[in-house]
Structure 1
C-alpha cells in the first residue's frame, strides 16, 4: 500500500480521480509516495509518484468521454464542452511532459541528484496520461493510440478494480514503462535521495540543510545540499491535510507538533497573502523560538537558487503573521491582564466591545490555555474562515483544564482531530525512560489510550529507531559536587562529542531554597570552568530576548523549556521534585516528563537530596546494576 499525500482525497476531486487515487494507494508498493495535486513551481500536476525502484512519474488525469473529443492531434486537442462550445487545449500528454520537464530542470540544480558524469538526473523520470472515462476499446475505436502511444496511457479498465480485466500487475508495469529515456544502469533511490527530492519540490516540508557554495558546471549553477532534513511524511500529511476551518492536533512530546504548526502558518500565508494570522503559545521562550522558526520559513525562497541572488525577494515575507505568547498578545493588543478577561467577555456577549479580528489563529501548547482565553480567541476569529488550529499534548499539561473544547470555544472537534504519536525528537532510550516514569507516577494513566482520538486524554508515544545512550542517573553529596560533575560533563560533550554549547541546556525546578541558592551554584560552576551561558529565565526581559542559536549553554526552569529541545539536557536538584509547595503533584509529574523529553540524545539526571522522584531514580539505578550489559553509558 503506497503512502498517499494527502492520505484522503479532497472532496473537490472527480469520481475518476478518486478511483485512481484508491488504486494507486492499494496496488503500489509501500515504499512509494503518491502526491495528489501538489503545488510545484506554480503548477499543479494531478499525480506525482516517487518510488525507490521507479524514479519519478507525473500523471495527467482527464475525465473526457467520447462525445467530448472533437478533433485531436499530437499537440492540440479540440474539445466540446457541456454547453456544446468548442475549445482548444494542449494535448494531455504534452501537459504531463511539460510538468515533468519543469520538475526535471529544477531538480537538476542540485548536483547531488545528477549523474557523476553528464548533466542528466541520476534516476529516471517519466510522464503519462490517465483517461478515467475511456476504456482501451474506446482508444482503439477512436484511433487515439495514434495520437498518444499506449505506453503513456492508462484507461478506465486499467485503473478500476471493478472493471473486467483489471490487473494490479499491469497497472504497476505500465507506470514503470512511462519513460522516454532508458538506461541500462538501474538506480535505486535512497532515503536521502527521496528526502532531497521532497526538499526541493515541497518547500513547506523543509526543516534544515547545510548550503555549500554554488558551483559553475556546464553553464549551469548547481547547489550542493548536505545534512538535509525534511518533515516526516506523516508530519507533511498533517500540515497539508489540516484542511479548512477548525482543527485539533494532539501529539506526544517530540512529535513535531510545533513544526507542523509553523509549516501550516507558512502555507496559510502563501495561500492567503491578505490574511491576518495570529500564532500563540503559553511560554515566552517558546514564542521566541516559534517566531524565529516561522520567520526562517518565510524568509527562505521556494527556489533555493535564489540564495545566490541578493535581489531575490519573497512575497510571503510581508505577510501579516503575529507571533506572541498569550499574555504578551493580551497586553499588546487589548492592553489588559488575564484577570480582566471575564469582564471583557461579558461585554462581547452583549455586543458592547470590539476585539481584534484574525482570519486564522494557530495555538501551540493548547493544553495550558484557560477556557476563558480560548473563548476570547474564538471571538477574535473570522466567522467566515473559522481557521483555528489547536495543538496540544495532555501529558505535558501543567494547568488542569476544567471543561471541554466544545464548551471552551463553542466548536466541536469530533472528526476534525489528528494524532501525532511518533516521537522524532528523542532517542528510543529517552522516550522509553520518560514514558516509564510518567506511567508510574501519573494519576491520568487510566486515561492513556490508543486508537480513536475521541475522548483520548493521553497519547502513548511511539519511538523512532534512533538509538542512543541510556539517561544517566547520578546522586551526589551536595550541589557543589553535583554542579562540578555537570560542568565537566559539558566540557566532555563539547570536546569529545562535538556538541555545540547552544545545544546544551541545564534545567532546574526551583532556583533557591531557604538554605542555598541553586542558581548561584550553577553560575559559579560554569564560570569556574569558563563555560559560556545564558540564564533564559532570569527575568521577563531575558525571556523576551531569548535567541535559540546564541552560542551559549542555556539555563532555564523546566516549564519555560516547553517546546524547546537540545542535544544534551541536564536536569539538576531533582530532590526538589515533587515541589513541596505545589498542591497538585500531577503537575510535577508532567514537568519532569517535559524536562526529560527536551533531550535529543543525551539526558543527565542528578540530585543531592531525597524525594519521591529520586527514590524512583535510585530504584532504576539498582535494577540497571543487575543488568549492566544492556545499558550503554556516557563516555
Structure 2
C-alpha cells in the first residue's frame, strides 16, 4: 500500500480520479510516495496531477484526463481541440496532455539537477541525475481500443499512456503487476540497479520540491557547473510523511491535532500558517499560544518559512552575491502572532488584573457584550492555537467569536500530558464546533533520542494518576486522553544524573558539562538551556542567583529570558547564549542539551493533591525539551529526586 499525500482525495474529484487514487494506494508498493496535485512551484502555478517517487521506479509525473471519445474534436501532436459541452458546438484548444506532463517532468529535472548529491559523480552519465525521471498520461474513461479509434496513438506514444482497464481493479483485464510494468516503461532511459533511490535521496527530493516539509539542512558545498548553482546538502531534516500529509490536509475547516512531546505539533502549525498565507493572500490569520517565549519561537519559525524562497538554489545565488533576505510586508499585515492575553488586551476593552476571578468576570462580561451586539470582535479567516491544553474554556469561546463562520478554519494542537493548569474545557461546547472525525494523532517523538523518550515516559507513566486514560486513539468525547509516545530510532547518550551537596555544587557540575559539550561535541551555547522549577519565593531568587553566578564564574554567556514579561517578549531562541528558564516558559521549545537543576524542588512545597499531575507534567515537559543530552541534578533525595536517585543507582550498580 503506497503512502498517499494527502491521505484522501477531495470531494470534488471525479469518479475516474477516485478510482485511480485508490488503485495507486492499494496496488503500488509500500515504499512508494504518491503526491496528488502537489504545488511544485507556487509562484509559477506548477501543479501536476500526480508525482510518484519509488526507490526502484525513480520519479514519475502523470497528467490525468477524464476525456471520452465524444470530448475529442481534432488532435495534433501540439494542440487538441475539445468539445466543451456536449451538443453546444463550443470548442476549446488545449495543449497535448503529454506535453504538459513532459514540461512538469523537465522542470523537476532541472530543479533537482542542481543538487550535487543527486547527480552521478563519474562515468558516461556524470553530472546527470542518478535516478530515472519519466512522464505519462492517464485516461480514466477510455480504454486502449478508444486510443486507436480516436487516433490518440498518432499524438502520444502508447507506452506513455495508462487506460481504464489498466487502472480499474473492477475491470477483468486489470493486473497490478502489469500496471507497475506499464509505469516502468514511461521513462526515456532504461533502468539500472545502481539507480535505486536511497531513503536519503527521497528525502532530498521532497526537501527541494516541497518547501513546506523543510526543517533544516546544512549547505556544505556551493559551486558552479555550466553557469548553474550547485548545492551539496547535508544533515537534511524534513517532515516525515505522516506530518507532511497532516499539514497538507488541514485546510478542510476545523481540526484538532493531539500529539506527544516532540512530535512536531508546532512545526505542523507553523507550516499550516505558511501554506495559508501563500494560498490565501487576502486572509487574516491569527496564531495564539499561552506563553510569550513560545509565541516568539513560533513567529521565528513562520518568518523563516516565509523568507525562504521556493527554490533553494535561487537563495544560494542571492547569498553568493550578498543579497539579504526580504520579508514581504503584506505577510505582516495578514498575520498576527501572540499570546492569548496580549491579543485579548489589544482588541478588547479590558483592564489587566492579577486576580484570576476578576479576569474571569471581565471575560464573561465581554462574552455577554459580544452576544448582545454591544461590541464586535476582530475577524480572522483562520485561527491556529498551539498548546491548546493550556487554554481556559472562556478563552476558547472568545477566540471562536473572532473566527470567520464561512471558513471555520480553526486548528488546535495539544498534548494532555503537558497540561500544567487545571482547565476544564469541552471543545464542542466551548467552540461550537464538532471535532468528531476531525482529529489526528501524532504519536512519534522526533525531537528526543530514544533514551530520553523512554526515560521521561517511564517517569510520567509511573507517577501520573491518569493511567486509565493512556490510549492511542481519540474518542468522540472530550475526555483528556494521554497519548503514549513512540520513540524514533535515533540513539544518543543516556540521561546523566548527579547527587550534589548543594545548588552551588550542582552548578559546578553543570558548567563543567556545558564546557565539555561546547568544546568536545561542538554544541553551541544557543542550543543549551538550564531549567528550574520553584515558585514565587525567596528560594526562587536563590536558585537563579546560583545559576547565574556559576555561569559568570565560568565565563559562559547566558540569558535569563524567563525573568519578566519584557525579557520573555524579547526572547531570541538563536542568540548565542545559554538560556535560563523556568520549565513553564520553556514549553514548546527544544535544545540539544538541557540541564534541570534542583530536581528535589519538585513537586513544589505545599502542592495540593489536585496539583500532583501538574507537577508530574512539568518534570516530563522539562525532560522532553532535550533533543540529545539530558542532565538532572539535585542536592536532596526527596520529591521527584527520589525516583531520579533510584535510576542513578541502578545505572551505576550501587
Bin of the TM-score, shorter chain as denominator length: over 0.9
Matched, 1:413 2:413: no
Taking structure 2 as the reference length, what is the TM-score of the superposition?
0.92
- Tell me: CA distance 1:185–1:32, structure 2 relative to 1, closer, same or farther (3 Å): closer
Matched, 1:484 2:487: no
CA-CA distance at 1:319 after TM superposition: 5.3
Of 562-571 and 351-360, deviating more is 351-360
CA-CA distance at 1:511 after TM superposition: 6.8
CA-CA distance at 1:229 after TM superposition: 1.7
Partner residue in 1 for 2:392: 370
Partner residue in 2 for 1:604: 631
Partner residue in 1 for 2:590: 565
CA-CA distance at 1:6 after TM superposition: 0.3
Partner residue in 2 for 1:429: 451
| Aligned positions of 1:243-262 closer than 5 A | 243-262=251-270
Partner residue in 2 for 1:350: 372
Find the aligned partners of 1:138 and 1:383 in 2 and give their Cα distance.
47
Partner residue in 1 for 2:486: 462
- Tell me: CA distance 1:80–1:130, structure 2 relative to 1, closer, same or farther (3 Å): same
Partner residue in 2 for 1:526: 551
Is the 8 Å Cα contact of residues 215 and 221 (structure 1) preserved in structure 2? yes
Find the aligned partners of 2:627 and 2:121 in 1 and give their Cα distance.
35
Of 7-16 and 103-112, deviating more is 103-112
Partner residue in 2 for 1:631: none
The superposition leaves residues 459-495 of structure 1 with CA deviations (integer Å, 9 ceiling, x where unpaired) of 1111110111221222112111111111111111111
- Tell me: CA distance 1:458–1:521, structure 2 relative to 1, closer, same or farther (3 Å): same
CA-CA distance at 1:265 after TM superposition: 0.2
Is the 8 Å Cα contact of residues 299 and 317 (structure 1) preserved in structure 2? no
In structure 1, which of residues 501, 514, 521 is the aligned counterpart of residue 525 of structure 2? 501
Find the aligned partners of 1:396 and 1:28 in 2 and give their Cα distance.
39
The superposition leaves residues 598-619 of structure 1 with CA deviations (integer Å, 9 ceiling, x where unpaired) of 0001111111113231122222
Matched, 1:72 2:80: no
Find the aligned partners of 1:466 and 1:593 in 2 and give their Cα distance.
19
The superposition leaves residues 152-199 of structure 1 with CA deviations (integer Å, 9 ceiling, x where unpaired) of 011111011110021110111111111113365631212221111111
- Tell me: CA distance 1:311–1:365, structure 2 relative to 1, closer, same or farther (3 Å): closer
Is the 8 Å Cα contact of residues 288 and 386 (structure 2) preserved in structure 1? yes
In structure 2, which of residues 296, 305, 308 is the aligned counterpart of residue 300 of structure 1? 308
| Aligned positions of 1:98-137 closer than 5 A | 98-117=103-122, 118-137=126-145
Q: Secondary structure at the match of 1:612?
A: coil
- Tell me: CA distance 1:274–1:213, structure 2 relative to 1, closer, same or farther (3 Å): farther
Partner residue in 1 for 2:180: 172
Find the aligned partners of 1:271 and 1:76 in 2 and give their Cα distance.
30
Partner residue in 1 for 2:342: 328
- Tell me: CA distance 1:14–1:297, structure 2 relative to 1, closer, same or farther (3 Å): same
Find the aligned partners of 2:236 and 2:156 in 1 and give their Cα distance.
39
Of 276-285 and 212-221, deviating more is 212-221
Q: Secondary structure at the match of 1:474?
A: strand
Find the aligned partners of 1:550 and 1:514 in 2 and give their Cα distance.
29
Q: Secondary structure at the match of 1:186?
A: helix
CA-CA distance at 1:221 after TM superposition: 2.5
Find the aligned partners of 2:574 and 2:257 in 1 and give their Cα distance.
28
Partner residue in 1 for 2:355: none
Q: Secondary structure at the match of 2:216?
A: strand
Is the 8 Å Cα contact of residues 530 and 580 (structure 2) preserved in structure 1? yes
In structure 2, which of residues 227, 232, 237 is the aligned counterpart of residue 229 of structure 1? 237
Partner residue in 1 for 2:168: 160
In structure 1, which of residues 445, 449, 456 is the aligned counterpart of residue 467 of structure 2? 445
CA-CA distance at 1:513 after TM superposition: 5.8
Is the 8 Å Cα contact of residues 307 and 325 (structure 2) preserved in structure 1? no
CA-CA distance at 1:622 after TM superposition: 3.3
Find the aligned partners of 1:216 and 1:577 in 2 and give their Cα distance.
57
Find the aligned partners of 1:124 and 1:318 in 2 and give their Cα distance.
42
Find the aligned partners of 1:567 and 1:492 in 2 and give their Cα distance.
14
Partner residue in 1 for 2:416: 394
Find the aligned partners of 1:49 and 1:256 in 2 and give their Cα distance.
25
Q: Secondary structure at the match of 1:115?
A: coil
In structure 2, which of residues 75, 96, 99 is the aligned counterpart of residue 94 of structure 1? 99
Find the aligned partners of 1:397 and 1:488 in 2 and give their Cα distance.
33
Runs (5+) with no aligned partner, structure 1? 629-635
Q: Secondary structure at the match of 2:401?
A: helix
Is the 8 Å Cα contact of residues 6 and 240 (structure 1) preserved in structure 2? yes
Matched, 1:23 2:23: yes
In structure 1, which of residues 587, 611, 614 is the aligned counterpart of residue 614 of structure 2? 587
Partner residue in 1 for 2:406: 384
Find the aligned partners of 1:206 and 1:68 in 2 and give their Cα distance.
41
How many residues align? The count is: 627
Q: Secondary structure at the match of 1:520?
A: helix
- Tell me: CA distance 1:407–1:624, structure 2 relative to 1, closer, same or farther (3 Å): same
The superposition leaves residues 438-461 of structure 1 with CA deviations (integer Å, 9 ceiling, x where unpaired) of 111111111111234534611111
In structure 1, which of residues 256, 271, 287 is the aligned counterpart of residue 279 of structure 2? 271
Matched, 1:543 2:574: no
In structure 1, which of residues 577, 592, 605 is the aligned counterpart of residue 602 of structure 2? 577
Of 98-107 and 263-272, deviating more is 98-107
Taking structure 1 as the reference length, what is the TM-score of the superposition?
0.95
Is the 8 Å Cα contact of residues 419 and 453 (structure 1) preserved in structure 2? no
Of 465-474 and 208-217, deviating more is 208-217
Is the 8 Å Cα contact of residues 498 and 634 (structure 2) preserved in structure 1? yes
Q: How big is the alpha-carbon RMSD for the aligned residues of Structure 1 and Structure 2? A: 1.9
Is the 8 Å Cα contact of residues 37 and 47 (structure 1) preserved in structure 2? yes
Find the aligned partners of 1:438 and 1:313 in 2 and give their Cα distance.
44
